[in-house]
Amino acid sequence: QVQLQQWGAGLLKPSETLSLTCAVYGGSFSDYYWTWIRQPPGKGLEWIGEINDSGSTNYNPSLKSRVTISVDTSKNQFSLKLSSVTAADTAVFYCARGGATYYDNSAYYYFDYWGQGSLVAVSS
């Protein structure tokens, strides 16, 4: 049974750096991309970025200048840093596993396991 457990600071001031970590329990840590997704209160979901066990990353261009995702394979953990936060960054942040199913030599990618979510509020 795969479980993702996440933690990090919940209240930040503008211009500070958001920092969250997600630990993966059960299942393989390699062979997957590990993802961060956020959801502002009452709004929809926004993909932030992903990393694999080799440290290869992809970021949302809208956040790329402020985002760093890192991995610690010795602990089966990955982390998110978002710099220079503003009130617009207030959201519930989720970590998730990027899984895939293969049909006809094509990989169909989805998010199949999620963390419990962390509310991060930015306020002066």
Question: Is 56 a residue that touches other proteins (CB under 8 A)?
Answer: no
| Binds other proteins (CB under 8 A): choice among 59, 78, 80, 85 | 59
**Left if phi > 0, otherwise alpha if psi is -120 to 50, otherwise beta: which for 54?**
alpha
Question: Is 44 a residue that touches other proteins (CB under 8 A)?
Answer: yes
| Binds other proteins (CB under 8 A): choice among 45, 55, 72, 86 | 45
Question: Is 115 a residue that touches other proteins (CB under 8 A)?
Answer: yes
Question: Is 5 a residue that touches other proteins (CB under 8 A)?
Answer: no
Question: Is 90 a residue that touches other proteins (CB under 8 A)?
Answer: no
Q: Cβ(111)–Cβ(96) under 8 Å?
A: yes
Alpha carbon distance 93, 37 (integer Å): 6
What the block records as the tokens of 76 is 């089966």
Burial of 27 (C-beta count, 10 Å sphere; 0-12/13-18/19+): middle
Interaction site with other proteins (CB under 8 A): 44-47, 49-50, 58-62, 94, 96, 101, 103, 106, 108-112, 114-117
